[in-house]
Amino acid sequence: MHAAGWAHADVQPTNTLVIDDGAAKVIDYALACGPGTPGRLPYRGALTHTTAPEIADAILTTSPDTHIQARPEADVWGLGASLFWCWTGQRPVAYEDRTDRMDKLRAIAKGHPVRLEQARPWAFPEFEDVVTACLNPDPAERPTAAEVAAW
């Protein structure tokens, strides 16, 4: 999907199934963003807690009718955020449940996730390295999905 220029645009725990052989399958492509998708509703993000900083920033700095083109790097952030959340029981960026969505997006756009070593239930250095790499605030510095899978 990424190699073809598409992004899922809603990577989150509930859109991932682990099947009998332990493989993970991503489901629900309703918000997927690809090259040349005219006539669609504008993409304005998905689940707030797994929104990449660059998507959060774009939501905050564009009008509500502007389409935001999600990229594969945002999916990798969503994967890292999902893994962080599932493993620690905490969202990767700190904010209160009752916080307004725009304020949550402002916190995410700053690009400062919770330090994993402060949230983790136990040390697991190899896993922490993957999650931390996925949550890099700079999209160009995140690994690709293929690199994560190989890792």
Question: Residue 104 is part of which domain span?
Answer: 13-150
Q: How confident is the model at residue 48 (pLDDT cuts 50, 70, 90)?
A: very high
36 located within any domain: yes
Answer whether residue 66 is part of any domain.
yes
Residue 17: pLDDT band (50, 70, 90) is very high
59 occurs within a structural domain: yes
Global confidence as pTM: 0.94
Do 75 and 11 touch, CB atoms closer than 8 A? yes
Instruction: Give Cα separations from 29 to 11, 34, 67 (angstroms).
Output: 9, 11, 17
Is the residue at 34 inside a domain?
yes
Within a domain: 7? no
Q: What is the CATH number of the domain that holds 20?
A: 1.10.510.10
CA distances from 68 to 35, 37, 109, 118, 146 (A): 12, 12, 15, 33, 24
Q: What is the pLDDT of residue 37?
A: 66
In a domain, residue 45? The reply is yes
- Give the count of domains, the chain: 1
Q: What are the DSSP calls for 31-89, one per residue?
A: T-B-TT-TTPPPP--S-GGG--HHHHHHHHHS-TT------HHHHHHHHHHHHHHHHHS
Considering the domain boundaries, does residue 112 fall inside one? Answer: yes
Domain membership flag for residue 8: no
* Model pLDDT for residues 33-43, shown as the tens digit of each residue: 998 766 788 99
